[in-house]
Amino acid sequence: QSVLTQPPSVSGAPGQRITISCTGSSSNIGAGFDVHWYQQVPGTAPKLLIYGNTNRPSGVPDRFSGSKSGTSASLTITGLQAEDEADYYCQSYDSNLTGSKVFGGGTKLTVL
């Protein structure tokens, strides 16, 4: 069971907007620790998508955006494209688990 909770799956049609939630607690997201998001195409390594809740690394399209409020964070993808079909993971830091970087269980995005 993951420390951060994500929906197992989401889906959307090309061009639509989808949101993936990441729910934590007072020892991680709620404690003010940053949330980061990764995209993982099956068979490949995860790729950093969003860091520090809202920041995009160079090369990541602005269709991807992140937000954080209270004990939760969200990843939003607008203008959905077929190439966005992948697994998405949130990640943060948990103060109850000394030094631990914690991941969500992952969300499978299907582009219909």
Partner 1 sequence: QVQLLESGPRLVKPSQTLSLTCTVSGDSFRSGHYFWSWIRQPAGKGLQWIGRVSSSGSTSYNPSLKSRVTMSGDTSKNQFSLTLTSVTAADTAVYYCARGDINWYYFDYWGQGTLVTVSS
Tokens of 93: 């830091």
Residues 14-53 as x/- pattern, contact with partner 1 by CB under 8 A: -------------------xx-x-x-----xxxxx--xx-
Where does this chain touch partner 1 (CB under 8 A) — which range of 13-21, 67-75, 76-84, 100-108? 100-108
Among 20, 29, 75, 106, binds partner 1 (CB under 8 A): 106
Q: Tell me which stretch binds partner 1 (CB under 8 A): 16-24, 60-68, 69-77, 101-109.
A: 101-109
Beta strands in 1-112 (DSSP E): 9-12, 18-23, 36-40, 47-50, 64-69, 72-77, 86-94, 100-103, 107-111
